[in-house]
């Protein structure tokens, strides 16, 4: 059997206790490229047992040794980066350039950032007559999505392992293949048995078994808000720690003194990155009334220039959506937007120039979108941009804060201090000023129904640590 046909549990490649598999379909060709085991609750039990057995020795290992394993994991991923990128392109459709620069490039940066933090592990603090120390939380269930399969895995795995935790990982059944390569790398570097375990399968079986398992100490989940609620419900029975990175409906606030050309072009690119399948995507473009027509015209022109097609073609800017179901979901929102009175200025259901095969949606821009419209309130997860007119700055802040989410956002202004002042008023976990670059060492996470807890950097590391106070005489 190929290793993709197996689970990785306790340092060994083993068959599932079940006899079913899950097809992995290339969304550009609609052809099956592989199949992975449809894991069972018994498989979860075995993986959790392996992680529990490995925990005492791994948590007691000197930090320098755990750091050495993380460095070896980084080097192994770097050596196989081209293979990882090609695999991600095949399993979920990201254009190869995006798969190389973002899907695999970013997790390498994240790993490097955690290597820099290794010296902070084990530090104690004196508070009066107390010594305050940090200890690993224990066995962690990491449940990751299909849109950034490797990055979301590393964002959980790297800090968990560095903290001294052991991990049972359930990747998305849509895009699990890159994580099988990761498990091969973990094996090749001699990561101790049971420290990292991989169980593929569905959320309804493997995911729920992990979230409710009495021997799992923490669940770190990335996915939809609906699924995050279910994880919280199941985890509450054993009062385990839960970290959730969920959906978003981020606002791109363009103030009237902004460089409109740059703000719109960067805003469209952000919205359409990864075919719009990004939780932080700026899907609402909030434009000042004084420059509204200019914004709409430029956004439509920018979107129309995007090349849609084969994700292995270097010229492609927009690949397919990950699944047929996701395409239909996105198109249903396109229909809803038109039905509720928004003005379609680019793309739509009948968008031209799309490949005959594959789960493609044309880059779509709606203007004259009401702030309370469905497409302005719900996460679409596709290449659909809503442009909303704002009477003034107060109106823009009100609209930006008018959804259930609070994951990301942006503010554009010629006055950086003014932009920062507006950013302070946005109820969201991160805000980019004038297109500032993503920082993999800064805390990442949301407000409200975008989740709780933080990933990346020192704050992400602290999620996997417990605090103990020792009172001294």
pLDDT tens-digit series, residues 328-372:
999 999 999 999 999 999 999 988 889 999 999 999 999 999 999
Supply the DSSP symbol for 229: H
- Taking the alpha carbons at both ends of the chain, their separation in whole angstroms is 61
> For position 353, what pLDDT does the model report?
85
Residue position matching structure tokens 């070896």: 72
Mean pLDDT, residues 83-94? 97
The tokens describing 132, both together, are 């305050």
Q: Give the per-residue pLDDT at 352.
A: 82
**pLDDT, tens digit, for every residue of 115-137?**
999 988 888 999 999 999 999 99
pTM given for the model: 0.96
3-246+449-471 CATH fold:
Aldehyde Dehydrogenase; Chain A, domain 1 (3.40.605)
* Predicted local distance difference test score (pLDDT) of residue 4: 72
What mean pLDDT is predicted for residues 255-274?
97
- Please report which residue ranges of 273-392 form alpha helices under DSSP H: 292-304, 324-339, 374-377
CATH topology (fold) of 251-439:
Aldehyde Dehydrogenase; Chain A, domain 2 (3.40.309)
In this prediction, what percent of the chain has a pLDDT beyond 70?
Answer: 99
CA–CA separation, 207 vs 195, rounded Å? Answer: 19
Residue 1, pLDDT > 50, answer no
pLDDT tens, position by position, 10-30: 999 999 999 999 999 999 999
Residue appearing with tokens 């394993």: 69
What's the rounded Cα separation, in Å, for the pair 268 and 258?
A: 15
Question: 467 is written with which tokens?
Answer: 């605090």
Q: What percent of the chain has pLDDT over 90?
A: 97
Contact 223, 143 (CB under 8 A): yes
Is the Cα dihedral 179, 25, 330, 351 positive or negative?
A: positive
Q: Are 26 and 322 in contact (CB under 8 A)?
A: no
Residues in the chain: 473
Mean predicted lDDT score pLDDT of the chain: 96
In angstroms, the CA 101 to CA 148 distance is: 12
What is the crossing angle of helices 149-163 and 81-92, to 10°?
A: 130
Q: How far apart (Å, rounded) are the C-alpha atoms in residues 188 and 107?
A: 19
Triad 217, 223, 228: Cα angle to 5°: 55
DSSP element (H, E) containing 272 = helix 260-272
Neighbours of 126 (CB within 10 A): 9
Q: Do domains 3-246+449-471 and 251-439 have the same CATH topology?
A: no
Give dist(CA 300, CA 458) in Å, integer: 40
What residue has token string 């994951």?
407
Quick one: pLDDT at residue 2?
A: 56
Catalytic positions are: 245
Domain spans, the chain: 3-246+449-471, 251-439
Q: Where are the alpha helices (DSSP H) in 61-195?
A: 63-79, 81-92, 96-98, 105-117, 149-163, 177-188
Q: What are 401-447's pLDDT values in tens digits?
A: 999 999 999 999 999 999 999 999 999 999 999 999 999 999 999 99
pLDDT digits (tens, 9 = 90+) for 148-183: 999 999 999 999 999 999 999 999 999 999 999 999
CA–CA separation, 263 and 378 (whole Å): 23
Give the Cα separation of 213 and 187 in Å (integer).
25
Short-list 146, 201, 71, CA closest to 325: 146
């Amino acid at each position: 059997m190929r290793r993709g046909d197996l689970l990785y549990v306790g340092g060994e490649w083993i068959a599932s206790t079940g006899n079913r598999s899950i097809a992995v379909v290339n969304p550009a060709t609609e052809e099956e490229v592989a199949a992975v085991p449809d894991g069972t609750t018994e498989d979860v039990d075995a993986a959790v047992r392996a992680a529990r057995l490995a925990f005492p020795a791994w948590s007691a290992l000197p930090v320098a040794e755990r750091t050495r394993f993380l460095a070896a994991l980084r080097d192994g991923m770097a050596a196989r980066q081209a293979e990882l990128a090609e695999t991600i392109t095949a399993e979920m459709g990201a254009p190869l350039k995006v798969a190389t620069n973002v899907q695999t490039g970013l997790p390498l940066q994240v790993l490097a950032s955690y290597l820099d933090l290794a010296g902070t592990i084990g530090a104690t603090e004196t508070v009066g007559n107390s010594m305050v120390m940090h200890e690993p939380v224990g066995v962690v269930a990491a449940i990751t999505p299909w849109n950034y399969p490797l990055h979301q895995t590393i964002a959980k795995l790297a800090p968990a392992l560095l903290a001294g935790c052991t991990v049972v990982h359930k990747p998305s059944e849509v895009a699990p293949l890159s994580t099988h390569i990761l498990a091969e790398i973990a094996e090749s570097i001699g990561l101790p048995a049971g420290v990292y375990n991989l169980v593929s399968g569905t959320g309804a079986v493997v995911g729920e078994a992990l979230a409710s398992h009495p021997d799992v100490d923490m669940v770190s989940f990335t996915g939809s808000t609906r699924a995050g609620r279910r994880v919280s419900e199941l985890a509450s029975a054993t009062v385990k720690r839960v970290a959730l990175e969920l959906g978003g409906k981020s606002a791109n606030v363009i103030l009237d003194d902004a460089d409109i050309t740059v703000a719109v072009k960067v805003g469209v690119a952000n919205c359409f990155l990864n075919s719009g399948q990004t939780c932080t995507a700026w899907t609402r473009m909030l434009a000042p009334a004084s420059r509204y027509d200019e914004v709409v015209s430029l956004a439509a022109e920018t979107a129309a220039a995007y090349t849609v097609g084969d994700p292995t073609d270097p010229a492609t800017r927009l690949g397919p959506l990950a699944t047929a179901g996701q395409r239909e979901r996105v198109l249903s929102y396109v229909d809803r937007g038109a039905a509720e009175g928004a003005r379609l200025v680019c793309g739509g259901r009948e968008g031209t120039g799309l490949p005959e095969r594959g789960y493609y949606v044309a880059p779509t821009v709606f203007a004259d979108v009401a702030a309370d419209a469905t497409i302005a309130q719900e996460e679409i997860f596709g290449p659909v941009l809503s442009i909303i007119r704002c009477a003034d700055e107060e109106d823009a802040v009100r609209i930006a804060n008018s959804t259930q989410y609070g994951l990301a956002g942006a503010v554009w202004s010629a006055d950086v201090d003014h932009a920062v002042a507006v950013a302070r008023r946005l109820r969201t976990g991160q805000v980019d000023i004038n297109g500032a670059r993503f920082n993999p060492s800064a805390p990442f996470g949301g407000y409200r129904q975008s989740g709780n807890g933080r990933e990346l950097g020192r704050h992400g590391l602290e999620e996997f640590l417990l605090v103990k106070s020792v009172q001294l005489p």
